[in-house]
Amino acid sequence: MAVTIRLARVGRKNVSCFRIVAADSRMKRDGRFLEVLGNYNPQATPKQFTVNAPRMAHWIKLGAEPSETVANLLKQDRFSEKTEALAKGLEPETLNLERLPERVRKPKKRKEKKAS
């Protein structure tokens, strides 16, 4: 069984909120999962991202593959640095590891219509 760590959508229409779950890779996006590992709310300002670090490290150690989106969120949250601190016996709160700033996206270029 291949386990993936991915987002599962919750919330009502046009108000998306996501759970970070460990799930069998063959299951549907919002289907059955093994464990809830955290939450992600992209509509909050600033975006809210919480994760249970010891459980996330446990699943990754067992061979679970995070999806591309979850990997980006973990990278922004400096998850690898926090897990190294936990392995050394330090508390991540004492290291003063702050979340990296959000990526600034450029607006898409629009094609100009020719006047005929």
**Domains of the chain listed by start with CATH number:** 3-95 (3.30.1320.10)
Q: Give the pLDDT of residue 93.
A: 64
Residue 10 has a CB neighbour count (10 Å cut-off) of 13
Question: Would the pTM count as exceeding 0.85?
Answer: no
pLDDT tens digit string along 55-108? Answer: 888 888 889 999 999 888 888 888 777 777 777 777 656 666 666 667 677 777
Task: Report how far Cα 62 is from the mean position of its chain's Cα atoms.
Answer: 18
b/e per residue 16-52 (b: at least 16 CB within 10 A):
ebbbbbbbeeeeeeeeebeeebbbbbeeeeeeebebe
Listed in sequence order, the residues at least 6 apart from 81 whose beta carbon sits closer than 8 Å to its beta carbon are 92, 95, 97
Place of tokens 């601190």: 85
Q: Give the pLDDT of residue 79.
A: 79
Q: Give the pLDDT of residue 96.
A: 66
Residue of 33 and 103 predicted with greater confidence:
33
Residue 11 has a CB neighbour count (10 Å cut-off) of 12
Q: Give the pLDDT of residue 1.
A: 65
Q: Give the pLDDT of residue 27.
A: 76
Residue 39 reports pLDDT greater than 90: yes
